[in-house]
Chains A and B, each alone.
Chain A
Amino acid sequence: MTPRFTVGAQVNVRPGNPPGHIRTPFYIRGKCGTVERICGEFRNPEELAYGRSGEPKQVLYRVRFNQKDVWPDYRGPAKDTIDVELYEHWLEPAP
Chain B
Amino acid sequence: MRGVHDMGGLQAGPVERVEHDYQLWEKRVDALMVLLSRKRRFTVDELRKGIESLPGDAYDRLTYYERWISSITSALIHRGTITIDELRAKLADIERRPDGPKAGTP
Q: Say what secondary structure dominates the interface of chain A.
A: loop
Contacting residues, chain A, for B52 (C-beta < 8 A): 21
Contacting residues, chain B, for A22 (C-beta < 8 A): 3, 6
A27 touches B46 (CB 8 A): no
Using C-beta atoms within 8 Å of the partner chain, give the interface range for chain A: 10 to 19
Please, which residue of chain A has its CB at the minimum distance from the CB of B7?
A26
Please, which residue of chain A has its CB at the minimum distance from the CB of B41?
A51
> Nearest-CB distance from A14 to chain B (Å)?
15
Instruction: Give Cα distance in the complex from A46 to B45, angstroms.
Output: 7
Please, which residue of chain B has its CB at the minimum distance from the CB of A48?
B45
B8 touches A49 (CB 8 A): no
Please, which residue of chain A has its CB at the minimum distance from the CB of B46?
A49
Give the contacting residue for A49; candidates B1, B2, B3, B48; CB below 8 A.
B48
The verdict on B43 contacting chain A, using a C-beta distance below 8 Å, is yes
Interface flags for B1-42 (1: CB within 8 Å of A; 0: not) read 111001011000000000000000000000000000000000
Name B residues whose Cβ lies closer than 8 Å to a Cβ of A. 1-3, 6, 8-9, 43, 45-46, 48-49, 52, 79
Name A residues whose Cβ lies closer than 8 Å to a Cβ of B. 17, 21-22, 25-28, 45-46, 48-51, 54, 71
